[in-house]
Copies of this chain bind each other. A is one copy, B any other.
């Protein structure tokens, strides 16, 4: 059994996503089982929704890899919970690698469908693979999904996806396009966090009223 580079990235990403879910579940005093489920939903939720929408077999149902990764993440949080804050920058990098990896996977799985989808549908599926797990996590812990409010996250996937199809349209291979997509996602995320880049926030109707006073 040889381990490929892609498998290593998949492992890192799954671990980081699961840990983000388990940490937030801990903050809400979930029990071990609940924390595991939230970690799992964070790690595999996006890909599961993608596979359901593409009418694929669910990717994790024939391969225990993702369940095992999530179990390792749970063990990590139980043992090192106290030190997780100090590991924040490591987990941020791992989470970003996961986001990039899952975006590329989502795009490529859409392109492999028997009836071809347009490129923008593949970008949406890539974004969903990367970001929908986090939305599911926030629904389970009963919070407003973070990605709708905080610094650029899902938008990094969209821009990565556009880079993917820009490469393809210039005649590049899928492998090269995937690498470029991943680098764009990672760069966008690092810049967004480093310079606290965020999208404009919409004004509510209440805000207009208060202004008029």
Binding site for B on A (CB under 8 A): 22-23, 25-35, 37-38, 48, 52-53, 55, 57-58, 61-62, 64, 67, 77-78, 81-82, 84-85, 115, 117-118, 120-121, 124, 135, 139-145, 147-150, 152, 154-155, 198-206, 208
Q: State A150–B28 Cα separation when bound (angstroms).
A: 12
Bound-complex Cα distance A31 to B149 (A): 5
A202 CA / B26 CA spacing, docked (Å): 5
Q: Could you tell me if A148 and B30 are in contact, using CB atoms closer than 8 angstroms?
A: yes
Give the docked Cα–Cα distance between A135 and B64 (Å). Answer: 23
Alpha-carbon distance A152/B67, docked complex (angstroms)? 20
CA of A25 to CA of B141 in the docked complex: distance in angstroms?
A: 19
**Consensus secondary structure, chain A interface:** helix
Number of copies of chain A assembled together: 3
In the complex, the chain B residue whose C-beta lies closest to that of A118 is B62
Contact B149 A81 (CB under 8 A): no
Q: How many Å from the CB of A197 to the closest CB on chain B?
A: 11
Q: A53-B61, A61-B121, A140-B148 are in contact. Are A29 and B204 (CB under 8 A)?
A: yes
- Contact (Cβ within 8 A) A202 B141: no
Q: A34-B148, A140-B135, A148-B30 are in contact. Are A25 and B202 (CB under 8 A)?
A: yes
A-B contact pairs, 21 of them (CB 8 A): A27-B204, A29-B149, A31-B148, A31-B150, A31-B200, A31-B202, A32-B200, A32-B202, A34-B145, A34-B147, A35-B202, A37-B148, A53-B61, A55-B57, A64-B120, A81-B203, A81-B208, A82-B208, A84-B205, A142-B143, A142-B144
